[in-house]
Structure 1
Amino acid sequence: MTFHPRALAPLLIAAAMSLGLPTAGGQQSSVSAQFTAPVTMDLPDYLRPATDPAFGTVFTRITKPGVLGNGIACGEKYCSHRYSSAQAWNADQSLLVITNGCNGMCFFDGQTYAPLFRRNRSDQCEWHPRNADLMICVQDRKISTWAPRTNREDVLFVATNYNELRFGPSKGNPSRDGDRIAVRAIRADGAMVVFAYDLNQRRKFPDIDLAQLAGNNSACTISPLGTNILCFQDLSDGTEQRGIFAVDGTLRQRWTEHHRPGHGDLTIDEDGSEVYVGISKADPDKYQVIKRRLSDGKVTSLMKFGEAEHASLRALGRPSWAFLSYGGNPDEISANPDWAPYAREVIALRIDGSGEVRRIVQTRNAPFDYWSETHASPSPDGSQVIWSSNWGVPGGPVHEFVARLDWAEESGSKQKEIVANDPH
């Protein structure tokens, strides 16, 4: 009797469990991995936990088109978290925010995913990484902290010589302690500038004129330690370059290679260095997942050529793991054994260069448009991962899912918490 790979995978998982062997997903780490064919699965019911038949990971669909309750409603086309490098959960994971396709900023229980309340805000807000009650918000001329539950806002800074203040836009995060952010703005003389702002000290750092970099700026963000600002520049020839400044305005690095890397996120490496992890689109590591050190631009390849689309380092409690969203055509991936063997999957990759991987879930997400991209992003402790999928229907509704991970075996010496000295 011959089994089709789609039928065989669940049988192998069941056999492993019956023998007491670890299954994949949140249960197993592996340095070497083989291509796993997509396993057919019906769209899970809303708020009903399901098990991925390929990797044994438990996950839940947390949105659906229409009214969800408590004033929250999802659009017919998509309803999802903002982006892979944006944190969806607050610091203690009691709240989860959905913004794309929802009727406002929609807040859910961070553990049960029940809809709780919504708020109407037009500014850019990101969770404070340590204070679970607060978000950090930037709009037009002001910087503030805001408590979504109580709707209380405390204004920290009002600009008199600037307008169009932006938190990023879109790709901005606070420093890991929540004290500093990078703010892009238009100065009164018309110059586009970026500056660091310390929320705790209510201190604005010097303007950095972005005209000194080639191209047009698309976003800037503060580094995890709050000492550097990374800026993204778009050139007319389609090249995407990077510039790294110290918060005092000193230009430290120019990365002139196209998108090397991009679609990524910042973290602190095991040696205390700040690194940007993402996908390269330039030689010599084109379409590989790489990390690049902010201090000197040193590049380390982390995963071979493949279809990785986005990297997230939002699991601040597990800075040595990058969470990767893979797209691609499974037939093409299986036909190229020298490529990274992941197609339409979410995986976690250890960034120490060992190649150690935790396969989390098959997304069953058919390529269509930006809103249907997977954009996986972990919770602060890495125990949950949020991701999007149209469930194999191009142009169909994009649903939001959360997978649960078990990191019990990582509690030993292999998992090291990075404790950096206070850079301020």
Structure 2
Amino acid sequence: YGGSKGNMSIDDKYVGLIGRNGSNRTLIVYDVENDVVVATRNIGTAAIGWFSVSQSGQYAVSCYLADGSADDQGMKVFNIDLTNRRHLDDYTKHGDLGIDANGNDVYVTFGDPVTRGNDYYMKMIRLSDGVQTPLFHYTSDYGVWNGHISCRNTSRPGWAYVNEGCCQTVGRKEVFAIKLDGSDMIQRFAYHHTNENTGYAHQAHAVPNRDGSKVMFASNWNNQFTEAHPPSFVVEAPATLDIEENEAVASNNIKVYPNPSRDGMVHIKLNGNIAVKSIQLYDMLGRTIRTEEMVSNEKSLNLSHLPVGVYLLSFQTENNGSVTKRIVLN
């Protein structure tokens, strides 16, 4: 939204906008639900790439066009009311705002000269404190260097979806997901087969659906399609993935309702053959709020004492798998 692209918070409440008045730019956080401007911040004539709101709605992030640590360079993060501005990263490579495996708001991006020098080719940066976690460790040769990253799998937090789109590296032309916990766990989906040198419109730009079980990407299929915009393809996760990789299937057997909840009551119903041992409730900072046993196929949680916002319910299954559901308390 504004000068380039940005995302809303996953409860569809906040959105980041870039206002223009001649050559001047203003960052705007807008509350869609209540139809009010939360905050504004004038940045003058600085060349900005994009401005966005984090998935939890706790933070706003700006990305300037130039690398560096100056006021109009690199990436900055704010509280949602545009207070507490701090420098997030010197580098402005492509990435996306997501949620890591511990429920933290993070920015996931490709590596920089420092991480690549240590054989890590991606990284994630925690928005709350700027802590960086290197990802995609590969020592035999070059790892993924550039391409596209998406964290639009909002019902399956803890993963980022990537397509390689640059160089002769390991992962060349692959579409894959990487777990956001530093373990370097990879799910391989497909080869996109596009010649990205044809131009921006012919880049793959892979993006997952909400539960992360399918990925859509564009491809000219080795220059077979020569239109201005090549067709899109959809690939689905194979059924042979292991327990954790099969969580999208298990997720369909767990119903959480109503969602959003307006009175704090959340009901859980298990369908099919899934067996759940326990439930953990986390806030978006990854803090455990509550743990419950699941002794039947139905359970109700009274969460009316909690502040409004987004929370994560993690279900631990009998076969040692896990399924995470996002819930919203209004």
Fold shared, TM-score > 0.5 on shorter chain? yes
Please give the per-residue CA displacement for 1:261-308, whole angstroms capped at 9, x wherever unaligned.
x31111122333210111133323467111101111111111133234
> 1:399 is matched with which residue?
231
Equivalent runs, 1:258-277 vs 2, <5 Å: 258-259=91-92, 262-277=93-108
Structure 1: segments with no counterpart, 5+ residues? 1-166, 334-340
The structure in which a higher percent of residues are strand is 2
Aligned residues of 1:198 and 1:204 also touching (Cα < 8 A): yes
One-letter identity of the residue aligned with 2:7: N
Q: Does 1:352 align with 2:177?
A: no
SS at match of 1:295: coil
CA shift in 2, pair 1:252/1:236, >3 Å: closer
Please give the per-residue CA displacement for 1:33-71, whole angstroms capped at 9, x wherever unaligned.
xxxxxxxxxxxxxxxxxxxxxxxxxxxxxxxxxxxxxxx
CA shift in 2, pair 1:240/1:346, >3 Å: farther
CA shift in 2, pair 1:235/1:358, >3 Å: closer
Aligned residues of 1:367 and 1:394 also touching (Cα < 8 A): no
Equivalent runs, 1:12-411 vs 2, <5 Å: 167-187=1-21, 191-211=24-44, 215-235=46-66, 241-259=74-92, 262-285=93-116, 288-304=121-137, 305-328=143-166, 332-333=168-169, 341-368=170-197, 369-393=199-223, 396-397=226-227, 398-406=230-238, 409-410=246-247, 411=250
SS at match of 2:4: coil
SS at match of 2:109: strand
CA shift in 2, pair 1:356/1:168, >3 Å: farther
Aligned residues of 1:285 and 1:301 also touching (Cα < 8 A): no
TM-score, normalising length: structure 1? 0.52
Please give the per-residue CA displacement for 1:229-264, whole angstroms capped at 9, x wherever unaligned.
110102399x961011112221432135222xx311
> 1:114 is matched with which residue?
none
SS at match of 1:374: coil
**Separation in 1 of the partners of 2:27 and 2:159?**
29
SS at match of 2:94: strand
CA shift in 2, pair 1:360/1:198, >3 Å: same
Equivalent runs, 1:412-423 vs 2, <5 Å: 412=317, 413-417=320-324, 419=326
Aligned residues of 1:181 and 1:197 also touching (Cα < 8 A): yes
One-letter identity of the residue aligned with 1:379: N
Aligned residues of 1:216 and 1:234 also touching (Cα < 8 A): yes
Aligned residues of 2:29 and 2:80 also touching (Cα < 8 A): yes
One-letter identity of the residue aligned with 2:233: F
Aligned residues of 2:67 and 2:73 also touching (Cα < 8 A): no
SS at match of 2:133: strand
SS at match of 2:135: strand
Q: Which has the higher relative contact order, 1 or 2, with Cα contacts under 8 A spaced 6 or more apart?
A: 1
**Separation in 2 of the partners of 1:210 and 1:175?**
22
Aligned residues of 1:270 and 1:418 also touching (Cα < 8 A): no
User: Pairwise CA RMSD of aligned residues?
Assistant: 2.9
Query: Post-superposition shift, 1:406?
Result: 4.6
Query: Post-superposition shift, 1:311?
Result: 0.8
**Count of aligned positions:** 243
SS at match of 2:182: coil
The range that moved more, 401-410 or 374-383, is 401-410
TM-score, normalising length: structure 2? 0.66
Q: Which runs of 4+ in 1 moved over 6 A?
A: none
Aligned residues of 1:243 and 1:251 also touching (Cα < 8 A): no
